[in-house]
Amino acid sequence: MITEETLVAELKDKQTQAKAFEVLVNTYKERLYWHIRRIVLNHDDTDDVLQNTFIKVFKNIESFKGESKLYSWMYRIATNEALTFLSQKSKKLGVTNEALQENLAKTLESDVYFEGDAIQLKLQKALATLPEKQKLVFNMKYFQEMKYEEISEILETSVGGLKASYHLAVKKIESYLTTAD
Amino acid sequence: MKKDRDNKFKTPEGYFDSFNERLMARLSEEEDIVSDIIPKTDGFGVPAGYFETVHDAVSSRLPRKGARVIALRSYRSLYYAAAAVAALLVLTAVWNRNTASPLGFEDLAGADITTYLENNDLGLSSYEIAEVVDLEEVSLSDIMDTQLEEEVILDYLNENVEEIEELNLEYDEIQ
């Protein structure tokens, strides 16, 4: 398997760029897709944000100096792209970010690409009530099964802070699932 | 912070020294406990074969080798400028045919041009305008009635741009 350093070097070289980019996309497309999907919820929006993420990576690969891991850098771009997308969407609709989150969770009921049952739908409604950071940490830890050290590098938060966020998120979600209608 | 000197309660030796470690250990233990309330999967699905299409979709949006990228979105005003020039040429040609004395640019009233533009759909696309207008020769000051002070621009950005991302600044690694 190609090393990260080699892949970055090939991405910066015009001769090998196209092939290396294909390897990059095929290596990370699914992981980044699910990361973005859990933020924006809708498949079509996720597709847009995922493409924008790879385009930004391609255009800015020259500025990547290898001081962080390539995948952490890409996750950071994906996270920023997804959050910016939501912010622009709420601005366009003239609603608050919280109202948008709530609305997105509700529309999952009629989303053809949401195959969840009642409890999974309720989970999304519970997640919509969480502060952004707690929601991100919960999804990355619980569903993407990332290590705290990896999440720490992406979100630039201490491991201790992440553990506290995760703990709080789990408690709030459990409380929502057992009490809310 | 002031110490609680009068407190008669005692704690085991080294209790506070190891508090952080024990708290973190407990959080780690809790993280390993699988919640029997939260579902294990979240129910999202993707269209069949979607992931096979991602690379082609992204590649088709990348700038082609050697292609020059010209942003057209801020040239709405040029649309009207080009349309005005086209309208003037047409009107001048018509007048020249029908009158003995040739008319100059100054003979046209601004209101006539405005009326013409309002009543006629010229149907020029951005690309058609780009073909006839040399964008490299055009600066912002050519299409603005008043000059913008740097301070005004910064005020506008402060009030209207919430995310720095919208400015399309280049990503750099965060140190």
Q: Domain spans of chain A?
A: 1-115, 116-181
Residue A20 near residue A10, CB atoms below 8 Å: yes
Q: Mean pLDDT across the stretch A157-172? A: 93
- pLDDT of A161: 93
Identify the band that residue A83 occupies on the pLDDT scale cut at 50, 70 and 90. Answer: very high
Q: Which of A30, A51, A32, A33 is nearest to A42 (CA)?
A: A33
- Residue range A1-115, CATH number: 1.10.1740.10
Residue A142 near residue B38, CB atoms below 8 Å: yes
Cβ contact A63–B171 (<8 Å): yes
Q: Identical fold at A1-115 and A116-181?
A: no
pLDDT-wise least confident of A65-74, A127-136, B131-140? B131-140
pLDDT in tens, B57-92: 999 988 766 555 555 555 566 667 778 888 888 887
Q: Which of B29, B128, B148, B28 is nearest to B82 (CA)?
A: B128
**Domain residue extents for chain B:** 83-139
The topology (CATH level 3) of A116-181 is Arc Repressor Mutant, subunit A (1.10.10)
Average pLDDT score, chain B: 72
- SS3 string, chain B, reads CCCCCCCCCCCCCCCCCCHHHHHHHHHHHHHHCCCCCCCCCCCECCCCCHHHHHHHHHHCCCCCCCCCCCCCCCCHHHHHHHHHHHHHHHHHHHHHHHCCCCCCHHHCCHHHHHHHHHHCCCCCCHHHHHHHCCHHHCCHHHCCCCCCCHHHHHHHHHHHCCCHHHHCCCCCCCC
How far is the alpha carbon of A102 from chain B, nearest alpha carbon, in Å? 16
Identify the band that residue B171 occupies on the pLDDT scale cut at 50, 70 and 90. Answer: low
- pLDDT of B174: 46
pLDDT at A85 over 60: yes
Identify the band that residue B175 occupies on the pLDDT scale cut at 50, 70 and 90. Answer: very low
A59–chain B Cβ distance below 8 A for any pair: yes
ipTM score of complex: 0.88
Residues of B in contact with A47 (CB under 8 A): 50, 57
What letters, b where the CB count within 10 A reaches 16 and e where it falls short, cover A44-56?
ebbbebbbbbbbb
Cβ contact A63–B165 (<8 Å): no
pLDDT-wise least confident of A41-45, A151-155, B59-63, B100-104? B100-104
Radius of gyration of chain A (CA): 18
How far is the alpha carbon of A52 from chain B, nearest alpha carbon, in Å? 8
Cβ contact B38–A174 (<8 Å): yes
